[in-house]
Structure 1
Amino acid sequence: MDDVKEQPQWGIMLSKFFVIPQRWILAIMGFFAIFNAYTMRVCLSQAITVLVVKKNYTGSGAHTDAICEVDEDDAAPVSREGGDYEWSEEKQGLILASFYIGYIVTHLPGGILADKFGGKWTLSIGIFLTAAFTLITPVCIVYGGADALIVLRVLMGLGEGTTFPALSVLLASWVPATERGMLGALVLGGGQVGSIAGNLLSGLILDSMDWPWVFYIFGIIALVWFTVFTLLCYSYPYKHPFIKPNEREFLKQEIPPKDMNQPRTPWLAILTSIPMWALISAQIGHDWGFYIMVSYLPKYMSDVLRFSIKANGLYSSLPYVTMWIMSLLSGCVADQMIKRNFMSTTNTRKIMTGLAAFGPAIFMVGASYAGCNRILVVALFTICMGLMGTYYAGMKLTPLDLSPNYAGTLMAITNGIGAITGVISPYLVGVMTPNATMMEWRIVFWVAFAVLFITAIVYCIWASGEVQPFNDGTNSNKKKDQTS
């Protein structure tokens, strides 16, 4: 184990200037890490609506039962014709899916590196690279077209693939079990707020500025985060030079310093663990539904509901506002349920995960039957994504429950396998919606309904919230008591 060195005197003096505990500072910076990751990921979903020639728009403003009439609030109907790029729906699906090809690749290496060396640099360098690729996106689009954009999005995914594994290691190293639901939900909620900002601000930018500024602004913000994070945050409490001594001692008691010479990762035990496969099942279901919404909600509102650019940004962001609020509330509720022994960790995670799967599946399909009633459709999508927010107090925290010592590796495995759906589902949506009509989209949502239900049932039957035997580095899954 690395020696826990005495805190330097200058660090103790500097700690007096920090009112907020360092674990909260880390959580806030972790929140903004995911925030930036998602703004850079989703802004293309808005930008692509003004880059491509519209499938359902003609100069006559024709209307059929398959699509809706043009939004009456659109002040500039000519802008509805979109851009100059004649990319098919299938090609657009491939562009939106390509990010996840790279995203999958770096998950497992990122988790292993974070487990071995700490999460700080694994996280920050990944975000830095994603920001750099975001800044050169306009150049790739203008001079390379769709193929260059696909390659660039793969590279962006490579950079961002380390985000969740590294943050899982940081949370396991900094956050006591009794605060895990609240601070974990705060950090993971950055995805929802990033989706809000990515959609809302992109809509405003596209309405008032040239489309390249969408990528410039979000890339620059991420670079600012990188600078602040590398100055303020450290991988472990006992290596932080200006943490308050009382917080340092508190975390030392709650979270013993990690053995950096721990045994090799017990791959056999992990990959033959039933709770682990139940977790993977829930991750697949969550990602299938979530990636469809993240990648395609702006296009659905543009191509089917025919919202104006500015309205699209606003209404595409509303579901994520609700999702963020629900993730924070459910995190606090989950903490209290566990702390007061009202319910076991296992059953708490199962209830939150079930609510986050069955509810969205129903409301997603319901939105497809609401037709062109824009208010009702937005309301149903908002409820759908709001309920999905309880995932973050459910299966998203399960890797930390199963194995604090290998949380990064577990998160890398589950998130990496789940991210495969990020490749499949956006591309499949493009194939299933060649004409971008309401009926085609209804089939898409029914498929998502089935995936969400089946995967959540598997989790609710076989998942666990208890530390597993492989946490000590052994390749054994035998457990004294594995009650639910």
Structure 2
Amino acid sequence: MEHSASDTETDDYKQPLLQRKEETPEKAPALCSARYGLALLACYGFFVAYALRVNLSVAMVDMLNTTGSSNASKSVCPRHSSPPKPIHDHTASVYEWDSETQGWILGSFFYGYIVTQIPGGYLARKYGAKWLLGFGILGTTIFTLLTPVAADLGAGYLIAVRVLEGIGEGVTFPAMHAMWGCWAPPLERSRLLTISYAGAQLGTVVALPLSGMICFYLDWTYVFYFFGAVGLVWFILWAALVSNTPSTHPRISERERLYITASLKHELSPTSDYIPWGSIFTSLPLWAIVVAHFSYNWTFYTLLTLLPTYMNDILGFSIKQNGMLSALPYLGCWIFALLGGQMADYFRETCLFRTVAVRKAFSIIGMVGPAVFLVAAGFTDCDYILAVAFLTVSSSLGGLSASGFNINHLDIAPSYAGILLGITNSFATIPGMVGPVIARSLTKSNTIEEWRTVFYISAGINVFGSAFFTLFGKGAVQPWAVQRTHAQ
């Protein structure tokens, strides 16, 4: 007999389980279902979002004027040979940007991204997530297509365009969390959400090497044109096939609709108008997610924006090799995120492990593990095979946190999951804003010792976040999240 995983939690409130077991709905099959169709389209959407986010990291290596730079044509380690770059009749412009300017360009996306986090969660809850998420990624797509023009106008214009891209993408995660609050049955949350958000790693995996190849065989401008076109195709599919809730979906089966709505009715607030802001901002379990999310993203964003630079300036890989090797850590992260989602729900549904235990275990492995291997990568010197291996293992283990703190918002308050994610992601965006700038300011001479310091800082923050979540995280629906239902 199935029952909600959060029913096994007794640390917040107790409710007779007999009543719930009697009302347990018949499980609808996953194959060809509307909820898994939504997960796949969401995966494609986050593929687009992250491809648009990271392609600049690779293109940046090719956008700089290397002829006058003291460290552009050389690297700390011996440069690896690569085939001569094809010569074109039309070569894209290159720019004289110092390391500090590069840091601001790479970090500027997050200044826009942080602005729309909480509004995104609120608007998605009040008006529905479909069009909010759709137009958010569409806007990012349009500004991506304008990137080459902005770069030619100057670094300030490029920074402005990246800020606008961030504003568009800022609504994506809160909106998707809000949508899953209505669509994801409790015992399928880990699977459905990891399928959706694994698109972020997949987008990184594909965008990094593909951007490198486009730069190598064409020029860097085509990177933005290609991924912009991919984003336009996604928007057409999203607009045609997705609905805000199971009740409004025109093609969902009655069995699946009843399964989803019945499995969630004890966990959702009966009204969309009331939002307990005071309880939300004073909830210690929420702040546990905030600290973990901030800490994990410090490492993630630092590597996301600067790994191509590290590969080029330290390990000495060409732009073509750069993209392929920079993608390996995110390929591992994608695989581990998907496997972790299956394992987490298996532990909760079949092994009957408490939700809070599963979330904390996956967060510890997904944050402490990466910290250990990140520090180890700083001591590989010019052993590039070991360096890439350690960075890959570090990022791969990080994928397990997708089934840890990263979806804990839906465990503690499914009705307000979008708003909660907007809050935690606002804090978790700060590392994307300041991390690259701090890292580039610490690596002005591009020495291995300087990069080792960057890795130390990231690892220490990761371990702290893991410890805080382990101490204060919860796995049950909080009383304030369903207070109108349980006040009787």
TM (norm. structure 2) is: 0.89
Structure 2 partner of 1:357: 367
Structure 2 partner of 1:304: 314
The match for 2:251 among 231, 242, 245 is 242
2:195 & 2:364 partners in 1: Cα distance?
20
1:344 & 1:224 partners in 2: Cα distance?
41
1:293 & 1:152 partners in 2: Cα distance?
22
2:393 & 2:52 partners in 1: Cα distance?
25
Residue 323 of structure 1: CA displacement?
0.5
2:217 & 2:483 partners in 1: Cα distance?
55
Structure 1 partner of 2:40: 28
The match for 2:240 among 218, 221, 231 is 231
> Are the aligned partners of 1:263 and 1:473 in contact in 2 as well (CA < 8 Å)?
no
> Are the aligned partners of 2:280 and 2:286 in contact in 1 as well (CA < 8 Å)?
yes
Structure 2 partner of 1:435: 445
Residue 185 of structure 1: CA displacement?
0.8
The match for 2:199 among 190, 193, 211 is 190
1:466 & 1:255 partners in 2: Cα distance?
14
1:176 & 1:429 partners in 2: Cα distance?
41
The match for 2:63 among 51, 54, 57 is 51
> Are the aligned partners of 1:184 and 1:397 in contact in 2 as well (CA < 8 Å)?
yes
Structure 2 partner of 1:316: 326
The match for 1:400 among 410, 413, 416 is 410
Structure 2 partner of 1:10: none
Map 1:162-241 to 2 at 5 A.
162-241=171-250
The match for 1:126 among 106, 128, 136 is 136
Q: Deviations over 1:51-103 (max 9, x none)?
A: 113455466x5x6xxx1111123545999xx9731211111111111000000
User: Relative to structure 1, is the Cα distance of residues 237 and 86 closer, same or farther in structure 2, using a 3 angstrom cutoff?
Assistant: same
Q: Deviations over 1:165-206 (max 9, x none)?
A: 011011111111111111111111111001111101101111
2:452 & 2:349 partners in 1: Cα distance?
42
Structure 2 partner of 1:412: 422
Structure 1 partner of 2:260: 251
User: Which amino acid in structure 1 is aligned with residue 240 of structure 2?
Assistant: L
> Are the aligned partners of 2:269 and 2:481 in contact in 1 as well (CA < 8 Å)?
no
> Are the aligned partners of 2:369 and 2:394 in contact in 1 as well (CA < 8 Å)?
yes
Residue 259 of structure 1: CA displacement?
6.0
Structure 2 partner of 1:453: 463
Q: Deviations over 1:260-318 (max 9, x none)?
A: 73352111111111111111000011110100111111111011111011110110111
Q: Deviations over 1:334-381 (max 9, x none)?
A: 101111244210010001011111111111111111011111111001
TM (norm. structure 1) is: 0.89
> Are the aligned partners of 1:50 and 1:83 in contact in 2 as well (CA < 8 Å)?
no
1:275 & 1:289 partners in 2: Cα distance?
22
> Are the aligned partners of 1:74 and 1:307 in contact in 2 as well (CA < 8 Å)?
no
Structure 2 partner of 1:9: none
Structure 2 partner of 1:329: 339
2:325 & 2:82 partners in 1: Cα distance?
13
User: Which amino acid in structure 2 is aligned with residue 317 of structure 1?
Assistant: A
Percent identity over the alignment is: 37
> Are the aligned partners of 2:118 and 2:422 in contact in 1 as well (CA < 8 Å)?
yes
1:306 & 1:280 partners in 2: Cα distance?
37
User: Which amino acid in structure 2 is aligned with residue 255 of structure 1?
Assistant: L
SS of 2:100's equivalent?
helix
> Are the aligned partners of 1:56 and 1:303 in contact in 2 as well (CA < 8 Å)?
no
The match for 2:79 among 70, 73, 87 is 70
Q: Which shifted more, 375-384 or 249-258?
A: 249-258
2:122 & 2:362 partners in 1: Cα distance?
28
RMSD: 2.1
2:270 & 2:322 partners in 1: Cα distance?
49
1:398 & 1:251 partners in 2: Cα distance?
19
> Are the aligned partners of 2:115 and 2:167 in contact in 1 as well (CA < 8 Å)?
yes
1:300 & 1:282 partners in 2: Cα distance?
26
SS of 1:189's equivalent?
helix
User: Relative to structure 1, is the Cα distance of residues 77 and 246 closer, same or farther in structure 2, using a 3 angstrom cutoff?
Assistant: closer
Map 1:134-153 to 2 at 5 A.
134-142=144-152, 144-153=153-162
User: Which amino acid in structure 2 is aligned with residue 344 of structure 1?
Assistant: R
User: Which amino acid in structure 2 is aligned with residue 171 of structure 1?
Assistant: W
1:260 & 1:450 partners in 2: Cα distance?
42
Structure 2 partner of 1:462: 472
> Are the aligned partners of 2:269 and 2:482 in contact in 1 as well (CA < 8 Å)?
no
Matching of residue 285 in structure 1 with residue 312 in structure 2: no
2:221 & 2:93 partners in 1: Cα distance?
13
Residue 252 of structure 1: CA displacement?
2.4
> Are the aligned partners of 2:86 and 2:216 in contact in 1 as well (CA < 8 Å)?
no
Q: After TM superposition, which residue ranges in structure 1, 4 or more long, deviate above 4 angstroms?
A: 76-79, 257-260
Unaligned runs of 5+ in 2: 1-29
Matching of residue 386 in structure 1 with residue 396 in structure 2: yes
SS of 1:307's equivalent?
coil
User: Relative to structure 1, is the Cα distance of residues 69 and 76 closer, same or farther in structure 2, using a 3 angstrom cutoff?
Assistant: farther
1:274 & 1:461 partners in 2: Cα distance?
10
SS of 1:151's equivalent?
helix
Structure 2 partner of 1:424: 434
Structure 2 partner of 1:159: 168
SS of 2:154's equivalent?
helix
SS of 2:114's equivalent?
helix
2:408 & 2:122 partners in 1: Cα distance?
18
The match for 1:42 among 51, 54, 72 is 54
